[in-house]
Amino acid sequence: MLRVAVVGATGAVGQEFVIALNKHPWLELAQVAASERSAGKKYIDAIRDPASGILRWHNREQVPEYVKDMIVSRVDEINPAKFDLIFTALESEDAKVVEPKFAQSTPVISTAAAFRYESDVPILIPGINDDHARLLNVQRKNRGWKGFIAPLPNCTTTGMAITLKPIMDKFGVENVFMTSMQALSGAGRSPGVIALDIMDNVIPYIPKEEEKVQVETKKILGKMNSKSIVPSSVKVSCTCTRVPVLDGHTESVFVGTEDPAEPADVKAEMLRFSKSVSIKGLPSAPKDYIIVHDDPTRPQPRIDREVNDGMTTVVGRLRKDTVFDNGIKYVLLSHNEKMGSAKGAVLLAEMLKDENLL
Amino acid sequence: MLRVAVVGATGAVGQEFVIALNKHPWLELAQVAASERSAGKKYIDAIRDPASGILRWHNREQVPEYVKDMIVSRVDEINPAKFDLIFTALESEDAKVVEPKFAQSTPVISTAAAFRYESDVPILIPGINDDHARLLNVQRKNRGWKGFIAPLPNCTTTGMAITLKPIMDKFGVENVFMTSMQALSGAGRSPGVIALDIMDNVIPYIPKEEEKVQVETKKILGKMNSKSIVPSSVKVSCTCTRVPVLDGHTESVFVGTEDPAEPADVKAEMLRFSKSVSIKGLPSAPKDYIIVHDDPTRPQPRIDREVNDGMTTVVGRLRKDTVFDNGIKYVLLSHNEKMGSAKGAVLLAEMLKDENLL
Amino acid sequence: MLRVAVVGATGAVGQEFVIALNKHPWLELAQVAASERSAGKKYIDAIRDPASGILRWHNREQVPEYVKDMIVSRVDEINPAKFDLIFTALESEDAKVVEPKFAQSTPVISTAAAFRYESDVPILIPGINDDHARLLNVQRKNRGWKGFIAPLPNCTTTGMAITLKPIMDKFGVENVFMTSMQALSGAGRSPGVIALDIMDNVIPYIPKEEEKVQVETKKILGKMNSKSIVPSSVKVSCTCTRVPVLDGHTESVFVGTEDPAEPADVKAEMLRFSKSVSIKGLPSAPKDYIIVHDDPTRPQPRIDREVNDGMTTVVGRLRKDTVFDNGIKYVLLSHNEKMGSAKGAVLLAEMLKDENLL
Amino acid sequence: MLRVAVVGATGAVGQEFVIALNKHPWLELAQVAASERSAGKKYIDAIRDPASGILRWHNREQVPEYVKDMIVSRVDEINPAKFDLIFTALESEDAKVVEPKFAQSTPVISTAAAFRYESDVPILIPGINDDHARLLNVQRKNRGWKGFIAPLPNCTTTGMAITLKPIMDKFGVENVFMTSMQALSGAGRSPGVIALDIMDNVIPYIPKEEEKVQVETKKILGKMNSKSIVPSSVKVSCTCTRVPVLDGHTESVFVGTEDPAEPADVKAEMLRFSKSVSIKGLPSAPKDYIIVHDDPTRPQPRIDREVNDGMTTVVGRLRKDTVFDNGIKYVLLSHNEKMGSAKGAVLLAEMLKDENLL
C-alpha cells in the first residue's frame, strides 16, 4: 500500500478524492488537509456550512465512513516525507506555493493549473499520452527534486483530448471548433455558481477556460522528444459556457481531418482505441474507455455521466461535417468530477505506479 | 386596419400571435382557429389542459382580455376571402394542405417549414433580405394565386442570419460553425419537452433542426435575381441542442471571413447595420435591432431575452477566432417566440404592408 | 420461483417493476404487457418516443439486459392462469376492467386506485398493516375468485402512513395536517409534467390526490375486524403540490397526538419500530425502514431518495408543535417510484408469499 | 419631494429599492451606501462580481439609468440629518448598530429583524395594521429620537398576515398551520443559495424563519393599546422550506376559525377587504390588494408573482378544511422581493407620509 495525503480535501474535488480512495487496493488515505477554517475539525464537521448548517456534500455517494472522523490538518502541517504520494486539489495561487515544497521529497498529482504550462511538466491523461510521463524524470533532474509535479488537464480538456486522440492517430487532425456546456460542479462550491445566476439560464463565459483547453489540447496531443514535448500542430478554438446541469460536461465538437473520415470509420477507430487502451486492468480504469452511441439523443449528462462510475467518455451524434472538406462532428460527455478530476488523478497514480514512476 | 386571422391560435406560437396583435395599430385580429379539440370553445377555455386543469399559457404577459371570449373556429371554417392576411402557426403536415387553399385568395404568413424550400418561396427576415419579397410576385404568377405564402425561417436560423448579414456585407463570410443551446418553448407544448427529460440535462439533438438552419441560412443570405434566389456560397455546419431554459435560443458561432475581421470592426459594423436597418419605425420594430455587449458574461437568456420585447438580437463575446486565418467568434441570443416566431411574423406583415405587398 | 407478469410495463411505474424484478431471488418476470401502441415491439423499442427518438427511460439504472429483447404483449394477450402473480401498473379506468378478469385465477398486486376504496379490499403497506392481508381471503370468498386484488396506496400516502404508525401506537394520533412537495416522476411520462409548466415554478394542485391521501391513511391505520376494516378515527387534511424535483416526495407533517409526545421520544419510537419491523429479511426490505435525521437540513430529496435503494422513509426536523396542546411536526421523504410504487409492490409480494397468501 | 438614502443598496433587497424608487413621485433617492468593498465605486460597477465578472443583478427590470453612475458611499459616510427618510437593507447585526444612530435624527424603514421584537417597535404592513403606526410616537418619546425605526416583517410573514386579517376580522382565527415553499431570492446573493444545493431539490429548513413568522404574525394581528401592542391569541405553527423557484413565496395554509367559515364567504370577505383597503391610491399600491383564484392550479409563482408588479397577494385553492371543526385551507403567493420587501417598504413610506408620520 502507498501512503497518500489529500490536500484541499474538503472542497468539491477533494470530496471526490475521498470517494475515489475509499477501499482502494493500492492507496491508503492517511491524512486530509484543508484551509485554516477547517483545520482541527473532524472531516464530517469541516464540510458543513457554518451559516446554514447544510452539509456541503453533493455527491451521489454518502460520505464514506472511513473519513468522517479523520481530523483535518492545516496544509502546513503536512510532512511530505511521510507520504509516498500527495494529491492536491488547491486553487492555482496556493498550488504555486505548496506543490514545489512537497515535490522536493514526494510525487504530487495535482488538479491545479499552476504548473501545467511549464516546459518540463507534462499534462497527463492516462491512456492518451502515457509516454509523456518520461518528462517527469527530466523535471526531477532539472529541479533537483526527489518527487515531481504531475498535473491533470482542465476537466474540459479531458474528454476532448480523449476523443481526438484516435481520430488523430488514424486520420490526422488539423482544426477543431468546440463549444462546451459545462456542469455546475465544475465551478466548485465556495460558493461556485449561485442558483439565482443559473436557473433558467446559460452563462456564456467561464474565465480562462477557453485558453486552457486550447493550449492543453495541443500539449497533450504533442510528441514527446528526449527532453521535451513538441505541441501538436492542431488548431483549436473554443467557446465555453455554463448550463444548469449538476455534473457532466457536454461538448459539441467539429473536427477537420487531414484524410477523409467517414463517421462509421471514426466510430470503429474510437472503439478499437477504447478496446486496446493502455490502462486496461488498473483498479480505477473503466470497463469502456470510450462509448459511441448511434442513438441520436445521446449522450445526455443526466443519463450518461454515471456510466462506469464517470470514467467513460461518451460520444454520440457522429456525423460528416458540412463545412470541412474532410471532417466530422460529434457530441461528447465527460464527467468533470470523475475522469476529469479526482478519480482521473487516482487513475493517473495507478498508471505511474504501474510504470514504476511512483 | 387590415383584418387578420390566426390559424393554430391556441398553441405556443399562436399564443404569441395573440399577444403580438393586442392593440396593434394596423392589424385587427378578427378570427382565431385551431384543431377540432378546441373548436367551439372560448379561447380562454381552449387553452386549458382538460386533464389537469392547468392553463397552458406560459407567457409573461397575462392572457389579453380582447381574446378571452373569442370563440375558436375549426380551421376549415375559415373563409380566407374575408381576411386581408392570415397568420398560420401549424405543424408542417397541416400547413402543406391548408396554406395553399388560403393563398388562392389571401396572403399567408407562416411559421411552418412546409414551403420554405420551394424555388418561388422566399424565407423572409425583415431587415435582412427585404428584396427577396419580390419573389412573392413571381410566386403569385407561377401559381395563379391572388395571395401568397411567405414563411419565416426556423427560429434558430433567425438570430444567426441577422448577425451574419452585416459581417457578410463588410468582410465576406465563407464558413460558419454553430452550436445552439435552445429553449424549451421552441418545442411547443403538445406536449413539447417533458420535464423528466430535460431537468438537470442537455438533449444533444433536435430532429431536422440542423438541416433547416444550414439550408435556410444560405437561402436568406443569397442573391435575388429577377425570378429566383441564388443561395449564398457560405458553408454552414450546426449542432443543435436543447437546454433547460424557458425562452431564448443561445448560439455559439465561429465565422471564417474572406477579409480579415477585427472584433472591434465587426462590432462597429453590427451597430452601424442595426442603426440603419430598413425596418426602423415599423410598429413592432425594436429600438435596437442588434445589441453588442462588451461584458463577457452576456448575452444570457434569462436576462437578455426580454430586451425590446424580444425583438432584439443580442451579441456578446466577440473575439478573434484561433483557427481561421481570418475569423471571429461570438455568442448570440435570439428570442425564439418573439423575433424568431410570431412577433417576427407580425413585423414581416408590417414590412410587406409598408412595401405595398399586402 | 414464482412466475409473474407486469401489465403496463412500459410506463414510469412499469419500468420500476422491470428494475425491481431484475435478478429477483423469488420472482421471475415471464411476460410484459402494455398498450396497443407498444405491442409486438421489443421492450427497448417500445420505450422509445416515436417522434423525438428519445428513450423514455429516466431511471438511474440502465435498462436491464434481461428485458431489452422481451416482446411486449397486448394486455388481452395475457393468460392469467399461466402466472402465479400479476403486477399491474395501469390507469384506474383500465385497471377497473382488467384486474377483476385476472383475479379470477391469479393474485393481482396493483398500483392503481381502482379498487382501493371497496370494503373487501385492503390497502397494504408491508410492515404497517400486514394483518389487513387477511381481508384478501374475505375478498376471495365474496367474489368467488381464486386470486385477489391487492392495491398499494397512493405514493403520497405511503411515507405519511409509515411515519404515523409508530406515533399512533405509542402516543395516539388525533389530527394530521400535511403539505406535500411532490416529484415529477409521480405524474408519469405520457406526457406527465411538461417542462414549460414546472421550471421555476410550483403547481399547487394535483387532481384527486388530497382526497386519496386523506381516505387511504384512515383505512391503512384502521383496525382489522373479522371481516372488515374499521377506519382509524384520525382526522387528516392535505394540500398536495408539485415541485421541480425529479424523484422523491417531501411532506411537511403536523401531528396532534392524544398523549404528550416529546420529539426525542417520537424519534426513539420511530427507530424502535424501524428496528423490529415485520418485513426484516425479505429480499426487497431496506436495511433501515425509517431513518431519523438530527441535521435540520435533512431530508432532502436529491440526497436522501436513493438511500437503501429508495425503500427507506427518511424523517427530519422533528420538533414540538406550537399549536397543538400535544403535538409534533416533522418533514419526511419517501421515494415515490421505489417504496411508494413498484418496488414497494414487489416487497408486498414477498410479504404475501412469506405469509402463504401467494 | 422627500430626500431618501438607501443603505445596503447593492444587495438583493437594495436593488429592489433602487427599482422601486425609480421615478417615484414623492421620494428622491439621493444617496446609496453599502459595504467597504463597494464604497467609492459607481453603482453599476459595485454590483459586478469581482471574480467572475457576472453582473449580480437578477431582476427582470434592467438596472435603472438614474443609479448607474451614483457613487456608492460607505455606511458611516451617511449623514442622516441630510435625509427625510432612510431605507435600510442590512443584515441584522449591522442594523442593530447603524439604525439607532440614524433614528436619532431621521425616520428609518428597515427590512432587518433587529428591532422587530422590541415592545415600542411596531411591525407594519400597509393596509393591515396601520393603527400600529401610532407606536412610532411612543418609540420616539421612549428613546428621545427625532426619527424612529419602522421594520417590515419577514417576507414570509407578509402574505400570511395579509390573508389572515380579513378572515380574523369576520370569522375569528384560532389556529394556523403553514408550510412555505420559498424562493431563492429570499436568501439573497452573498452568496445566497448555491445552485449545487438546490437544483432538483428541496431544502426543508431556513434558519430562524419559522420562529420569526410565528411571533410576527401574532404581533401584526395584535391590538394597539394606548402605548403598546397586545399580540393576537392566534396560535401559529410553521415549517419553512426552500424550493428551486427564482422569486415568489408559496404558502400552504390551514386555518381554524372561531365561527364557521365557508370558502365562498371567505373569498367574498377577502375581496371586500381588498376593495376597501386603506392604502388605495398610494403611488406603490397595487390595483388589487388580494386576488382570489377559482382555478385550482393557481397561484403559481412563475405566473402570478409579477401581477401588479408583485404587490398583490394571490390566493387560490380555498377549501373547507377536513380536520378543524370550523376551518378552511388555501394556498397563497406573495412576492418576497416586492410587497414582501423593498417595494413594500416604499409603500410603507407612502402610508406614513400620508398619515403625517414622515
Percent of chain C with pLDDT over 90: 93
Question: Nearest CA to CA, how far is C90 from chain B (Å)?
Answer: 17
Q: What Cα–Cα distance (Å) separates residue C280 from each residue in C17, C126, C274, C344?
A: 21, 10, 9, 14
Q: Is C195 helix (H, G, I), strand (E, B) or coil?
A: helix
Active-site residue set of A: 155, 249
pLDDT bracket for residue D190 (50, 70, 90): confident
Residue B51 is predicted with a pLDDT of 74
B25 touches chain D (CB under 8 A): no
Side chain identity at A88, as an amino acid letter?
T
DSSP single-letter state for residue A52: T
Average pLDDT over residues D108-123: 97
C202 touches chain A (CB under 8 A): no
D177 touches chain C (CB under 8 A): yes
CB contact under 8 A, C202 and D316: no
CB atoms within 10 A of CB C44: 16
- CA–chain centroid gap for B206, Å, is 17
Select from A179, A199, A300 the Cβ nearest to the Cβ of B252: A179
CB contact under 8 A, D195 and A200: no
CB contact under 8 A, B296 and D58: no
pLDDT at D266 over 90: yes
Residue pLDDT, tens place only, A137-156: 999 999 999 999 999 999 99
Which long-range CB contacts under 8 A does C115-118 form with residues at least 24 apart? C115/C149, C115/C151, C116/C151, C116/C153, C116/C212, C116/C216, C116/C219, C117/C215, C117/C219
Measured between alpha carbons, how far is A173 from A266 in angstroms, rounded to an integer?
12
pLDDT bracket for residue D99 (50, 70, 90): very high
pLDDT bracket for residue C54 (50, 70, 90): confident
What's chain A's average pLDDT? 96
pLDDT at A189 over 80: no
Write the CB contacts of D172 (distance below 8 Å, at least 6 apart in sequence): D257, D258, D259
Side chain identity at A161, as an amino acid letter?
A
Does the domain formed by C155-334 have CATH 3.30.360.10?
A: yes
A193 touches chain D (CB under 8 A): yes
Side chain identity at D354, as an amino acid letter?
D
Euclidean distance between the first and final Cα of chain B, in Å? 12
**What CATH code is assigned to A2-153+342-354?**
3.40.50.720
- CA–chain centroid gap for C176, Å, is 20
Residue pLDDT, tens place only, C196-220: 999 999 999 999 999 999 999 999 9
CB contact under 8 A, B297 and D62: no
pLDDT at B355 over 80: yes
B226 touches chain A (CB under 8 A): no
| Residue A342 host element (H or E) | helix A342-354
Residue C59 is predicted with a pLDDT of 79
| Residue B177 host element (H or E) | strand B173-182
Q: Is C319 helix (H, G, I), strand (E, B) or coil?
A: strand
* Phi and psi angles of residue D180, each rounded to the nearest 5 degrees, phi first: -100, 150
Residue B315 is predicted with a pLDDT of 98
Is B249 tagged catalytic? yes
Residue pLDDT, tens place only, C243-258: 999 999 999 999 999 9
The answer to whether the beta carbons of residues A276 and A268 sit under 8 Å apart is no
Domains D2-154+342-354 and D155-334 share a fold: no
Subunits that touch chain B (at least 3 Cβ pairs < 8 angstroms)? A, C, D
Q: What is the pTM of this model?
A: 0.96
Pairing of strands C235-242, C149-151: unpaired
pLDDT at C23 over 90: yes
Residue C49 is predicted with a pLDDT of 82
Residue B291 is predicted with a pLDDT of 98
Cis (ω within 30 of 0) for the bond into D191?
A: yes
**Cell numbers given for D102:** 440614524
**Cell numbers given for B62:** 397575462
pLDDT at D53 over 80: no
Q: What is the dihedral of CA C81, C83, C84, C86, to 10 degrees?
A: -110
CB contact under 8 A, D297 and B54: yes
CB contact under 8 A, B296 and A199: no
Residue C55 is predicted with a pLDDT of 83
CB contact under 8 A, C54 and B195: no
CB atoms within 10 A of CB B356: 6
CB contact under 8 A, C237 and D202: no
pLDDT at B58 over 90: no
Side chain identity at B130, as an amino acid letter?
D
Residue pLDDT, tens place only, C137-163: 999 999 999 999 999 999 999 999 999
D200 touches chain C (CB under 8 A): yes
D345 touches chain A (CB under 8 A): no
B246 touches chain A (CB under 8 A): yes
Measured between alpha carbons, how far is B347 from B311 in angstroms, rounded to an integer?
9
Active-site residue set of D: 155, 249
Q: Is D293 helix (H, G, I), strand (E, B) or coil?
A: coil
Average pLDDT over residues C98-122: 97
Select from D54, D194, D203 the Cβ nearest to the Cβ of A189: D194
Residue A91 is predicted with a pLDDT of 92
Cell 379539440 maps to which residue?
B37
DSSP single-letter state for residue A184: G
B54 touches chain D (CB under 8 A): yes
Residue pLDDT, tens place only, A291-340: 999 999 999 999 999 999 999 999 999 999 999 999 999 999 999 999 99
Residue D60 is predicted with a pLDDT of 77
Pairing of strands C327-334, C313-320: antiparallel
Select from C244, C302, C323 the Cβ nearest to the Cβ of D175: C323
Average pLDDT over residues A118-125: 98
C226 touches chain A (CB under 8 A): no
pLDDT at D38 over 80: yes
Give just the sign of the alpha carbon dihedral B317, B323, B327, B333: negative
Q: Is C216 helix (H, G, I), strand (E, B) or coil?
A: helix
Measured between alpha carbons, how far is C192 from C185 in angstroms, rounded to an integer?
8
The answer to whether the beta carbons of residues C251 and C334 sit under 8 Å apart is yes
Give just the sign of the alpha carbon dihedral B6, B10, B16, B18: positive
Residue B78 is predicted with a pLDDT of 97
Cis (ω within 30 of 0) for the bond into B191?
A: yes
pLDDT bracket for residue D9 (50, 70, 90): very high
User: Which of B144, B121, B156 lies closest to B229 in space, CA to CA?
Assistant: B121
CB contact under 8 A, D244 and A195: yes
Residue of chain D with shortest Cα separation from A203: D54
pLDDT at C105 over 80: yes
Q: What Cα–Cα distance (Å) separates residue B123 from each residue in B148, B275, B316, B338, B344?
A: 12, 23, 26, 17, 12
Measured between alpha carbons, how far is C237 from B109 in angstroms, rounded to an integer?
53
The answer to whether the beta carbons of residues D245 and C201 sit under 8 Å apart is yes
Average pLDDT over residues A258-272: 98
Exposure class string for D15-27: b at 16+ Cβ within 10 A, else e: bbbbbbbeebebb
Cell 451606501 maps to which residue?
D33
Write the CB contacts of D104 (distance below 8 Å, at least 6 apart in sequence): D80, D145, D146, D147
B320 beta partners: B328
Select from A298, A322, A331 the Cβ nearest to the Cβ of B235: A322
Class of residue B77 by CB neighbours under 10 A (exposed 0-12, middle 13-18, buried 19+)? exposed
User: Which of D156, D161, D159, D158 lies closest to D185 in space, CA to CA?
Assistant: D156
Select from C54, C60, C199 the Cβ nearest to the Cβ of A306: C60
Active-site residue set of C: 155, 249
Q: Is D81 helix (H, G, I), strand (E, B) or coil?
A: helix
C22 touches chain D (CB under 8 A): no
Output the CA angle D188-D189-D191, nearest 5 degrees.
Answer: 120
User: Which of A146, A163, A171 lies closest to A333 in space, CA to CA?
Assistant: A163
Question: Nearest CA to CA, how far is D148 from chain B (Å)?
Answer: 38
Considering B132, B238, B240, B249, which one is annotated as catalytic?
B249
Average pLDDT over residues B37-63: 86
A344 half-sphere exposure, CB direction, 13 A CA radius: 34
**What CATH code is assigned to D2-154+342-354?**
3.40.50.720
Question: Nearest CA to CA, how far is B259 from chain C (Å)?
Answer: 41
A251 beta partners: A180, A332
Residue B49 is predicted with a pLDDT of 82
Max distance between CA atoms of chain D, in angstroms, equals 61
D101 touches chain B (CB under 8 A): no
pLDDT bracket for residue A49 (50, 70, 90): confident
Instruction: Indicate the domain borders of chain C.
Output: 2-154+342-354, 155-334
pLDDT at A57 over 90: no
* Phi and psi angles of residue A199, each rounded to the nearest 5 degrees, phi first: -65, 135
What's chain D's average pLDDT? 96
pLDDT at C62 over 90: no
D181 touches chain C (CB under 8 A): yes
Residue C271 is predicted with a pLDDT of 98
Class of residue D208 by CB neighbours under 10 A (exposed 0-12, middle 13-18, buried 19+)? exposed
DSSP single-letter state for residue C24: -
Residue C52 is predicted with a pLDDT of 73
CB contact under 8 A, B295 and D53: yes
Query: Which residues in A lie closer than 8 A to residue C58 (C-beta atoms)?
Result: 303
pLDDT at B189 over 80: no
Side chain identity at A58, as an amino acid letter?
H
Interface-testing mutation among B164, B175, B177, with chain A (most A C-beta atoms within 10 A): B177
Subunits that touch chain D (at least 3 Cβ pairs < 8 angstroms)? A, B, C
Question: Nearest CA to CA, how far is D256 from chain C (Å)?
Answer: 11
Q: List the 111-140 stretch of B: residues with Cβ below 8 A of A.
A: none
Interface-testing mutation among B91, B193, B197, with chain C (most C C-beta atoms within 10 A): B197
What's chain C's average pLDDT? 96
* Phi and psi angles of residue C196, each rounded to the nearest 5 degrees, phi first: -65, -20
CB contact under 8 A, D323 and C179: no
Average pLDDT over residues A226-241: 97
Residue C42 is predicted with a pLDDT of 97
Residue of chain D with shortest Cα separation from C197: D302
CB atoms within 10 A of CB B74: 14
Measured between alpha carbons, how far is A82 from A86 in angstroms, rounded to an integer?
10
